[in-house]
Structure 1
Amino acid sequence: MIYLDNSATTKPHEDVLKTFHTVSSKYFANPSSIHRMGGQVEDLLTKSRQQIADLLGVRLQEVVFTSGGTESNNLAIKGVAEQYKNRGKHIITTEIEHPSVLETCRHLEETGYEITYLPVNDKGEVSVDDVKEAIRPDTILITIMHVNNEIGSVQPIEELANIVEHYPTVLFHVDHVQGFGKITVPYDHKGIDLITISGHKIHGLKGSACLIKKQHINLTPLQHGGAQEERVRPGTENVANAVSLAKAIRLALEEQKNYHQLQQLNQTIREELKYYQQITINSPQNGAHHILNFSVQNFKPEVLIHAFSDEGVVVSTKSACSSRQSEASHVLKACGKTDEDASAAVRVSMNVHQSQDDINAFISAFKKIMSKYEKVMG
């Protein structure tokens, strides 16, 4: 099978799996235990945290291990909302965020917070001026994703950070799940306070992730218990996951040099798709190279996906968190796409090791599927 659904999840790297198995087998003690085995595991956890901190140029105490991107996003947004509610209850985000951000914001609206959902242009990009103009005296948080998981639009994170830096009472959270290992953000920028990173999007393991929380930020935890993770995320640490995440992050940054090759693969697909009048390419030309979203008129996306599967190619629709829902993509609707296109989108998402042969196989399968379609319609 040719796997082109890497934005949903990636195949774990063999070295990551080996690391997880070794730690699970040999270093299984509770890191909070005071005996020697517990101390060894605690040292291993600290070394993993330090490795991530060094790779990103942040402080050791700023790395908080979590169970995934959804938890990290929830912890960042709800944690800030509760901790700083005396400053204000206004939060700024965009209309095209991941469900783990949008649904969290909607929940906060029900509890008395005011959320500004900023629009995006037809390329899925938010206006820096719109963000600046939306800031109010009672604004406590701006939460904006780096790379959109459906269409690959890239937000101007550094420009936004430069603005937020001048508002000391406004915090900036970046959902960096789809960007990490592909497009870098300035992790140590004074205008960026919180950053979400997920392991299973970078050939790590599901259930492994972290939230970079700058040292000057206080968060109200989502749950209460022990003193683990600086009391921000209590509970016995999953040390094997933490160590494997450090390995996945290191490998992702080492392999990021291969990312540029995806630009040509992305363009190869675009060149093929443009010959079909019933196809609309939804991803912006200047977006992330690893994601290409397109719609085929008169084709239900699930039918097209199953047809690709029959040809040995795996693609997907929108966010895996909502792909089983039949409604139109909120991302494409926000970009001004028609209901027809927003309901018929297919996403191709590559990893940094994708080959030309993989893309040739995709194109061959696509031609075969469209040929069958044209015979039926003709």
Structure 2
Amino acid sequence: MAAKAAAAAAVGRMKLGSQGLEVSRQGLGCMGMSALYGPPKPEPDMVALIHHAVASGVTFFDSSDVYGPFTNEALLGKAFQGGVRKKVQAATKFGYHIVDAANFEIRGDPVYVRAACEGSLKRLDIDCIDLYYQHRVDIRVPIEVTIGELKALVEEGKIKYIGLSEASASTIRRAHAVHPITAVQLEWSLWSRDVEQDIIPTCRELGIGIVAYSPLGRGFFSSGPKILETLTDYDFRKMVPRFQPENLAENAVIFEGVSEMAKRKGCTTSQLALAWLHHQGPDVCPIPGTTKIENLDQNIGALSVELAPEEMAELESFAAPDAVKGDRYPTTSDTWRESETPPLSSWKGGR
């Protein structure tokens, strides 16, 4: 008990955004428990992991209706039973509408937003979602329309705070003008830094919190290029350009640099990569995912790693933009680069 109390104190708390949401300084991404990184993990083990996280001070949990689909939210719903719900901040997302077993579409129309929210509330078995993100932006629907419906859900007490994921700076500004955006979730790590030029400054100007997903480079900064040997046939990373053998072989140089510094610092490569993000500012909350308690404990340890400015610069030099080989998604339609929506004046209703 004493060890867990010490860990909880080490994790600490932070204000995410300027609207009142408070979360643990490091969250837990839950996708890999149920989807995309191989087959689903045993439910009892994942519930135990979530409970261990809470006892250790990690109380900010990230899910989405598309993870599974739907099963990850149900998993969290079971883990939040009893007195756990009072201790956690539940974040989930909408936007990926499952058309059939092989197809999905991005939707942000009001009818879908509301239906998705109701579905998530039932699966999570809660009365109110703490932070509800638009997972991907529907480029057919003005962002003002989508946020307008989310604003109505806030007023009805079904969600507390609104977030965006993979949204451009201009989309963030337009959304924030309709209702304050509490957090923007974006991919940010040592080898994914394109958000620093425009999106991060926009969030800071508007008082929006920053939630960094894939802060360990989808496992690259944990295992290096040998991660390819561990991926199953159903692992999404097998389709990611950055993880193709020819690119991963060149990216190995990045991992070697991080590994050398980690040895000097007396920490793991994962802890070093996470510490780099924690040193970006008090408005940044990384949400590394894991399915193992030992990895969770190790990630918490990153909060104790101190980095001097020259060490930050050295880390960044290992993964300079021209040194990283391969894009972070198979297509840029999955990113903020293709997320602009039509003007509000063009909206005629419907989907």
TM-score of the superposition, structure 2-length normalised? 0.30
Q: More helix by proportion, 1 or 2? A: 2
Larger radius of gyration: 1
TM-score, normalisation: structure 1:
0.29
